[in-house]
């Protein structure tokens, strides 16, 4: 983003001028090619259409570059990173997303460090092989798995966390990578840009009108963000609503409102309803990852297994398997 000094508001940045704004890019030991999309948008306008555009471009240009860096607004960067992690299967090269809390023209901007270090990570090779082979987010000296990341602060430079998975790398005097926690591709790189938008996200709260969920007729999957390790209101109305949703064929995925930790059906009596109605545990997934994973696998013709089996599988490092 950059500031429009007439209105005082932040507007999408024209990436075609990036070398003028950050001339240090010319000193890098790698060749950088810039591809600005025709109509830059605020990250709050990003969605499945833009995710497909990015994924398609990477797929078409995959053999032309050693790595890819996506400059992205911070508000929805974890959604984009999560979606790309499912669409770009078995990456053999890094796809890094980064952004900044302050606009690139601000004297105190964090954009310069985030951009330059991201380029180093995107070009990191050993013995002619990419070190990072997954979608990652770099922000304020930390490299995070994209589908494990979340934005937790609108104020601090250190705005991103990966609460349920170790950081992949950290930038200091040296550029560090923890190779033990990096994702290892399981096959040949391919693109699957399927996304089903009939996914609903609902965060429960005390006193809510739970029956209102039945009024939404288009939902084919609901990501239900519940209390703690998997509890919800223990009453007949809750069971009736959830059972009606399941009778309609709606998939119900349960994730936690807590940033750290995950779902454990049966730990408390108020979670037993989910086992009864055949809900799916989202384990320790972020909301961003659970939403985009559901969009990707819901009625995807390229998969020959049911939604529950697919969602419960750790496809690309998005969940802890033994929870």
Please list the residues that pair with 170 across neighbouring strands: 142, 176
What is the CATH number that goes with domain 199-312? 3.40.50.40
Q: Could you write out the three-class secondary structure of 99-140?
A: CCCCCCCCCCCCHHHHHHHHHHHHCCEECCEECCCCEEEEEC
DSSP of 153-185: -SSSS--EE-TTS--SEEESSSEEE-GGGS---
Fold of domain 2-191: Rossmann fold (3.40.50)
The percentage of residues in the chain with a pLDDT greater than 90, rounded to a whole number, is: 82
Query: How many angstroms separate the Cα of 104 from the Cα of each of 20, 73, 108, 112, 148?
Result: 11, 11, 9, 7, 26
Interatomic CA distance for residues 132 and 176, integer angstroms: 12
Domain positions in the chain are: 2-191, 199-312
Q: Given this model, what pLDDT does residue 108 score?
A: 86
Give yes or no on whether 2-191 and 199-312 have one common fold.
Answer: yes
Q: Can you give the pTM of this predicted structure? A: 0.92
Average pLDDT over residues 79-105: 95
Residue 111: pLDDT band with limits 50, 70, 90: confident
Span 118-156, pLDDT tens digits = 999 999 999 999 999 999 999 999 999 999 999 999 999
Span 174-210, pLDDT tens digits = 999 999 999 999 999 999 999 999 999 999 999 999 9
Query: How many angstroms separate the Cα of 279 from the Cα of each of 147, 230, 237?
Result: 22, 11, 16
Q: How many CB atoms lie within 10 A of CB 165?
A: 18
Report yes or no: 277 and 271 within 8 Å, Cβ to Cβ.
no
pLDDT of 22 higher than 50: yes
């Amino acid at each position: 983003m950059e500031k429009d000094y007439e209105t005082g508001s932040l507007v999408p940045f024209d990436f075609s001028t990036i070398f003028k704004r950050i001339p240090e890019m010319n000193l890098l030991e790698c060749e950088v090619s810039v591809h600005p999309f025709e109509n830059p948008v605020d990250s709050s306008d990003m969605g499945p259409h833009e995710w497909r555009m990015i994924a398609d471009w990477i797929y078409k240009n995959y053999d032309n570059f050693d790595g890819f860096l996506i400059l992205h607004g911070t508000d929805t960067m974890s959604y984009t990173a999560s979606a790309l992690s499912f669409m770009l299967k078995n990456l053999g090269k890094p796809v890094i997303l980064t952004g900044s809390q302050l606009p690139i023209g601000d004297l105190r901007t964090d954009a310069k460090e985030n951009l330059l270090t991201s380029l180093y990570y995107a070009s990191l090779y050993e013995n002619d092989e990419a070190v990072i082979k997954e979608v990652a987010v770099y922000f304020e000296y930390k490299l995070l798995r994209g589908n494990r990341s979340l934005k937790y602060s609108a104020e601090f430079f250190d705005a991103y966390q990966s609460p349920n998975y170790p950081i992949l790398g950290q930038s200091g005097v040296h550029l560090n990578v923890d190779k033990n926690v990096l994702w290892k591709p399981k096959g040949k790189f391919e693109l699957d840009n399927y996304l089903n938008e009939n996914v609903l996200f609902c965060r429960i709260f005390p006193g809510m009108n739970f029956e209102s969920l039945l009024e939404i007729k288009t939902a084919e999957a609901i990501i239900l963000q519940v209390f703690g390790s998997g509890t919800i209101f223990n009453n007949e109305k809750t069971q009736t609503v959830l059972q009606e949703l399941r009778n309609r064929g709606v998939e119900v995925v349960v994730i936690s409102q807590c940033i750290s930790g995950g779902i454990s059906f049966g730990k408390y009596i108020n979670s037993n309803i989910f086992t009864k109605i055949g809900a799916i545990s989202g384990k320790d997934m972020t909301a961003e990852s659970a939403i985009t994973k559901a969009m990707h696998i819901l009625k995807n013709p390229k998969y020959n297994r049911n939604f529950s089996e697919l969602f419960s599988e750790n496809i690309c490092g998005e969940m802890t398997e033994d929870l």
